[in-house]
Amino acid sequence: MAGITLTTIYIPDFIPSPEKFYMILFNLIFLGLLTLLLYAGYSTEDIGTVSTAMFWFILLIFARYFDFFWELLPRSLFFMLGGFVLLVISIVLERKRRELKVQFSGREEVDVKVVVDRYGNAVIRSLLIGGEEVDI
């Protein structure tokens, strides 16, 4: 009994307090649910589900960024770095969203080779459909 009392009173530093433990646990659960939501969106090819999961994922990253770096950086550097990070993340996610939108719609991207003849008329030489060149 005395050993249990001593271990509860003198908790080692490497064991997080119950508040920190629950914070870490709930963040991991939330991240897991977002991963499952993102996977469900990919497997059902539903752009709305994927967009929702990405939105909440960005909010989670943003919140953890504020929690971790608020005390470590001067205020101006904090906001400059945070703005740059969010700008890069938004560019990457927007490109991925556009790719997914085209992929989920079932359309194929078509690339056309057009040549102008000596009379100024545009002539289509070939089409690139789904990575394969089709001559006309």
Please provide the DSSP assignment of 17-46 as one string. PHHHHHHHHHHHHHHHHHHHHHHHHHHHT-
| Domains: count for the chain | 2
Same domain for 79 and 67: no
Q: What is the pLDDT of residue 8?
A: 45
Helical pair 18-44 and 47-69, crossing angle rounded to 10 deg = 160
Q: What is the pLDDT of residue 9?
A: 46
Q: Tens place of pLDDT for every residue, the chain, 136 residues?
A: 334 444 444 445 556 677 778 888 888 898 899 899 989 988 888 888 888 888 898 888 888 877 777 777 677 777 888 888 888 888 888 888 888 877 777 666 666 666 777 777 776 666 666 656 666 6
- Indicate whether 110 belongs to any domain: yes
Amino acid identity for residue 2 in this structure: A
The C-alpha atoms of residue 38 and residue 41 are separated, in whole angstroms, by: 5
Nearest alpha carbon to residue 111 among 95, 129, 94: 129
- Indicate whether 1 belongs to any domain: no
Global pTM reads 0.49
The C-alpha atoms of residue 94 and residue 132 are separated, in whole angstroms, by: 27
For 51, the domain range is 16-72
Confirm if 117 and 126 have CB atoms less than 8 A apart: no
Same domain for 93 and 127: yes
Same domain for 82 and 52: no
